[in-house]
Chains A and B, each alone.
Chain A
């Protein structure tokens, strides 16, 4: 009996201890010389974060995102989730509008000389960081020079070690050895975004860990970040926008909530359950299979935002496809892009099957060289296969199940390849292994992939020379330099047209089209619309 009592006592103490451990624990768009803001409003924006008109200020907005960011430092990762999280904290000199064009944000204006080798940016005055410090040119110079050293796309166009420098407190300049017409576009691109932060925060960044403080100029301030759980942000009352209406991610960014919590809910089923139960106000990247069910739910509203472009990457450097252009042609002719996209995104209205590598609506959009894309001509494909002298070596196809659209699209593609008469060796790996394979020779011949939308072709991953298919043809690289060296929209677009025509003429890559995220909000959330992933500016909770 005594022993039993002793055991019971230990048990009760353990119970209490376990419970107590619970106590513990977010110039204008390209080309012109002197740029102005994009919108038409002349009103000052000294307090754009305050309640405007009859829009009520809500307590907390709960947003469920589909991934967990590995870092909040945009320069330490190219993952879209990083910008989706940090965009409310940090702004750049430029931001992307709804037509994927750069617009002035922290820059009030900019000038470029005739040959685009010198840029001078005039900064907006009176902008304060979240720690109360005034934004000056030294902060911008530190932030942008760090961006120059770490951003892949810009390193390919600014190749001579040029640096930004301060002219005065509110003026920043860069002098380039080669023309760079696209600089504002690249500065507005979401991937590895040039976030402006205090000089001290830049200096405190480590090579391995990135920035250690999250202090920006955005409409929300960093409060707390618990990995795998949430990022907590609070309303920044001193926020100052550029003074024009929001377009895409550019303009006055109004937040109508005192607090915003971004939850990292990686399971799509749970995100779907969460919006139905009202636990979250907004969820992003739903399962396409849930779209029909949610559209019938009166308490939920659906929304879509651009995910990016999708395609089939082919290894052009070596392997079965690298040395056999005819085989690449046969595969290109055989692939039914509509079928593949329908399998990857099985909900109506979330795909745009188009062969252009740049989105419709942007100045880069072109259909040059797309005659052989999505022809659904299996006879022509088989004829090309015969000419290719294909010896039956299995084509290595790699995919992953981390992103269901990759897996589903690949399965349909594999069936089409088999119908063509090609042997396939399909390998399904986890995401990090997939990243390794993408840059390692000998691991694949082709794979299905999607990429975030970009503002300029120089940022396209599908023309990388060091991985993602290894596009290293000297003729193409020469054409690409013409794009970077262009001095007007028309010249750049024409040069890009030649590039795309060349790529498709050599069956470099099979573009499938553009895809959209399926997002949802509660019925009482008004004013929500995203250009990419999710964007909460201007939305509010109706009474």
Chain B
């Protein structure tokens, strides 16, 4: 396990370093810059150039990169040009809503997708399977913003029972208001995520149901519930956990379209806003941070394989 972690750490550092060059290069290749975005469409060139100089944007790119990376290694991701705060503070502020949304969306997705996936696998070829599979296909095909708009129309405008956008913390509005503002975005994201999880659950279950050991279990006369939840589920779990990890990671990175639409101050909105404003330190810091999140999630998923399936052990830790 120790050797595995060391190797993983080296791999993470290498990945982040290569990524840093890529991110820095991409952000600075984009036309436009933060001075322009700050001063607006009616600023003249003289003013823009003066602010560019003030922001240090006229320095050689290599010099800017070295400064940024050397600070980042020490944990200083720089200061936002627009937010009057450090990048770290901006990320800390935005990760909270993203965590909340991701968690509840993933929960909705799991609660819906896994039982339905199991049902579809159990009743393969029957009406239930067709209905569930078709719904999953629809969910995978439908753009998230379209579903979001439909839900807003029905529950926000026609029924008027839920707010159409915004985010309220518990401290500001109380628990009930906090939940009211979360319902539509979480249900939207949860439904979209559930489609893929359902299909993966169904196909994983089908793969395991066709194995010899399950046939043996059936032949032994074990109850179907025991077969399904003790044997099939355990063996199919690795694949499902993998997709759950990817799904949660993408939610945590911020579903930009939905966060912008529902006006939720999460990571997605932060990144979109920063890209539009060319807030270089935030773009760079946020992408590095999200990359780290993905790496950590993948690590957790890797470790979980060993817990789910004792036959799988991390390299170097086998008995």
- A residues sitting closer than 8 Å to B (CB atoms) are 3, 7, 14-15, 18-19, 21-25, 68, 70-71, 76-79, 82, 150, 152, 191-192, 207-209, 212, 226-229, 263-267, 269-270, 273-274, 276-279, 429-439, 449, 451-452, 461, 464, 466-467
Contacts and interface: CB of A to CB of B under 8 A. Distances in A.
B99 interface: yes
B41 A79 contact: yes
Given A77-B38, A432-B31, A68 B273 contact: yes
A279 B273 CA distance: 24
A208 B51 contact: yes
Contacts of A451: 41-42
B48 A228 contact: no
26 contacts: A14-B103, A18-B103, A21-B96, A23-B169, A79-B40, A82-B40, A150-B47, A152-B42, A207-B51, A208-B51, A208-B81, A227-B83, A228-B265, A229-B167, A229-B265, A267-B263, A270-B164, A270-B263, A279-B163, A430-B32, A432-B33, A432-B278, A433-B32, A434-B41, A436-B36, A438-B41
Contacts of B167: 229
Given A25-B169, A433-B31, A435-B41, A207 B54 contact: yes
Contact of A78 (B43, B149, B171, B269): B43
- Find the residue from A228, A264, A276 having the highest chain B CB count within 10 A: A228
Contacts of B30: 432-433
A182 to B, nearest CB: 17
A277 B169 contact: no
Contact of B273 (A24, A191, A228): A228
B50 to A, nearest CB: 9
A273 B152 contact: yes
A266 B265 CA distance: 13
A432 B277 contact: yes
B261 A270 contact: yes
Contacts of A78: 39-43
Q: Tell me what chain B mostly uses at the interface: helix, strand, loop, or mixed.
A: helix
Contacts of A150: 47
B96 A70 contact: no
Contact of B263 (A25, A70, A264, A436): A264
A430 B276 contact: yes
A227 B39 contact: no
Interface of B: 30-33, 36-48, 51, 54-55, 81-84, 93, 96-97, 99-100, 103-104, 107, 149, 152-153, 156-157, 160, 163-167, 169-172, 178, 260-263, 265, 269-270, 273, 276-278, 307
Given A432-B277, A437-B31, A77 B165 contact: no
A464 B47 CA distance: 13
Contacts, number: 167
Contacts of B270: 228
Contacts of B171: 23-25
Contacts of B47: 150, 152
A76 B38 contact: yes
Contacts of A70: 37-38, 40, 82, 277
Contact of A209 (B84, B97, B99, B265): B84
A464 B44 contact: yes
A71 B40 CA distance: 11
Contacts of B42: 78-79, 152, 191-192, 451-452, 461
A505 to B, nearest CB: 25
List 3 A-B pairs, minimum CB-CB distance, nearest first: A78-B42, A432-B32, A79-B40
Nearest to B43: A78
Nearest to B41: A435
A24 B263 contact: no
A71 B170 contact: no
Contacts of A264: 263
B169 A152 contact: no
B100 A18 contact: yes
A452 to B, nearest CB: 8
A22 B170 contact: yes
A273 B156 contact: yes
A439 B48 contact: yes
A192 B82 CA distance: 17
A25 B84 contact: no
B31 A436 contact: yes
B285 to A, nearest CB: 15
A436 B103 contact: no
B260 to A, nearest CB: 7
Contact of A71 (B41, B82, B156, B269): B82
Given A76-B39, A433-B30, A435-B36, A277 B156 contact: yes
Nearest to A226: B265
A278 B160 contact: yes
Contacts of A68: 273
A434 B30 CA distance: 11
Given A209-B84, A466-B46, 17 more contacts: A25-B96, A25-B171, A70-B82, A77-B39, A152-B44, A212-B84, A229-B265, A263-B166, A267-B260, A273-B152, A277-B156, A277-B157, A279-B164, A432-B277, A432-B278, A435-B40, A466-B45
Contacts of B170: 22-23
A208 B48 contact: no
Contacts of A18: 99-100, 103-104
B44 A273 contact: no
A265 B100 contact: no
B157 A276 contact: yes
B236 to A, nearest CB: 15
A150 B39 CA distance: 11
